[in-house]
Chain A
Amino acid sequence: MRSRKRQRLWLVSIGVLLLGGAAALALTAFEDNLVFFHSPSDLKAGKAEVGQLIRIGGLVEDGSIARQPGTAITAFRVTDGAATATVTYEGILPDLFREGQGVVVRGRLLADGAFQGVEVLAKHDENYMPPEVADALKKSGHWKMGEDAPPKGAGS
């Protein structure tokens, strides 16, 4: 009785380990296809084809937002620190959209290297704090938002 239990323990444990290994291998193989967005560096490195619908993510570069008066067209640059992509987008932007904010833009790479946005999503970071704390951090110069969290995959 005891030995049969031990045998089952080994069988089930080995089964779980093999399954975990198989899942890990599969996920590693699919790595590039599981990312939700690419970085501007990927774009620069030629990972996307012209006209292909992809997502790029990064921070909205400071001072790059230009709204065309009389239309809903906004132009801005998305940066991951190593490369930037120029994006034009027509439509309503999310509330959190502003300079220094992480965004994910779905759209197409145009022949001239610009990026035509179809959908703009704001990315929220993992920091939660009251406005007073944020103000105090900004005042004391400890504010690290934006430079603290470059999108993953940046430069790689």
Chain B
Amino acid sequence: MADATATANPSGGFWHRLANPARFQRLAGWLTPWLAAAAVGLFAAGLYFGLYASPIDYQQKDNVRIMYVHVPAAWLAMMSYSTLAIAGFVLLVWRHPLADVAGVAAAPVGAAFTFLALVTGAIWGQPTWGTWWVWDARLTSVLILFFLFLGYIALRNAFDEPERAAKAAAILGLVGAVNLPIIKFSVDWWNTLHQPASVTRLGTPAIDPAMLRPLMLMAGAYMCLFTVLVLVRMRLELTRRRIDALQSARAGAIE
């Protein structure tokens, strides 16, 4: 772990300097309040437009408002897992000291977003489809994503040696990334009950601008919230590791 901080890599630049925990702590500490303020502002605007100042849907009526909570949660669930996969890749290849910290920080946040997407989806599905849950390709692959997050957390905590735990979790994070394109394209590849993409598709979005606005505000809010939570959790994890190191050093000195 120490090699990344000690030797300067001419091509590594920014990422290499971030490997210094104190430098990362400073940068994250400076970024956090700004992002938190942005999240509060975007949530206020997004919830105002989403739950109040936007039209009802021509067939879902007010149920359409669940979308403003559900869709960004699902997007962020996938982004969280992408974070785990990228962190895993960076850890396995470059042994960047922050990669494991980022994975540890992002996993529970991602699990929470996935859970929120699953629950709000069920609440929307009951009045719209007529069922809380079906085993179609989209819903099932998102449930698997939820289990991947739980598996990652469990695996990360299953070893006594932190290095081995980090490596095992990184491999799971990378392997599980196979699920991401499956989630995204499940609605195009197979017959599913879940509808295909409305926003992220070729051509114009199949969603009215008056409804797209709160959706995008909420997506921005979720994104800021995710970044804040991950940065705060990364700082906590780094601090916790430092305390552990100091304590074991002191225990060693006393003996």
Q: Which A residues lie at the B interface, using CB under 8 A?
A: 1, 5, 8-9, 12, 15-16, 19-20, 23, 27, 31, 34-39, 57, 93-96, 104, 119-135, 151-153
Closest 9 A/B residue pairs (Cβ) = A94-B130, A130-B55, A134-B58, A36-B136, A131-B58, A35-B191, A129-B208, A128-B207, A126-B198
State A133–B157 Cα separation when bound (angstroms).
53
Does A36 contact B56, Cβ atoms closer than 8 Å? Answer: no
B67 at the binding interface (Cβ < 8 Å): yes
- State whether A37 and B175 are in contact (beta carbons under 8 Å apart), knowing that A27-B182, A94-B129 are contacts in the complex: no
Chain B residues positioned under 8 Å from A104 (CB to CB)? 193
Starting from the known contacts A20-B178, A123-B129, A127-B206, 14 additional A-B residue pairs (CB-CB under 8 Å) come to A12-B92, A16-B174, A23-B178, A31-B189, A35-B190, A36-B190, A37-B191, A126-B195, A128-B60, A129-B57, A130-B57, A131-B58, A152-B190, A153-B191
From A9, A27, A130, contact of B208 by CB (8 A): A130
Q: Which B residues lie at the A interface, using CB under 8 A?
A: 3, 7, 55-60, 64, 67, 89, 92-94, 127-131, 134-137, 174-175, 177-178, 182, 189-193, 195-198, 201, 206-208, 210-211
From A5, A57, A121, A133, contact of B130 by CB (8 A): A121
Does A36 contact B137, Cβ atoms closer than 8 Å? Answer: yes
State A129–B211 Cα separation when bound (angstroms).
7
Does B190 contact A34, Cβ atoms closer than 8 Å? Answer: yes
From A12, A36, A125, contact of B134 by CB (8 A): A36
Chain A residues positioned under 8 Å from B136 (CB to CB)? 36
Chain B residues positioned under 8 Å from A37 (CB to CB)? 191, 193
Chain B residues positioned under 8 Å from A121 (CB to CB)? 129-131, 134, 193
From B89, B128, B189, B197, contact of A96 by CB (8 A): B128
State A108–B129 Cα separation when bound (angstroms).
20
State A143–B128 Cα separation when bound (angstroms).
21
Does A128 contact B208, Cβ atoms closer than 8 Å? Answer: yes
What does DSSP make chain A's interface, helix, strand, loop or mixed?
Answer: mixed
Does B207 contact A34, Cβ atoms closer than 8 Å? Answer: no
From A5, A15, A129, A131, contact of B94 by CB (8 A): A5
Chain A residues positioned under 8 Å from B190 (CB to CB)? 31, 34-36, 152
Closest chain A residue to B58, Cβ basis: A134
Chain A residues positioned under 8 Å from B207 (CB to CB)? 126-129
- State whether A125 and B195 are in contact (beta carbons under 8 Å apart), knowing that A20-B178, A120-B130 are contacts in the complex: yes
Chain A residues positioned under 8 Å from B3 (CB to CB)? 1
Provide a sorted-by-A list of 14 A–B residue pairs whose CB atoms are within 8 angstroms: A5-B93, A8-B93, A36-B136, A37-B193, A121-B134, A123-B193, A126-B206, A127-B206, A127-B207, A128-B57, A130-B56, A130-B57, A151-B191, A153-B191
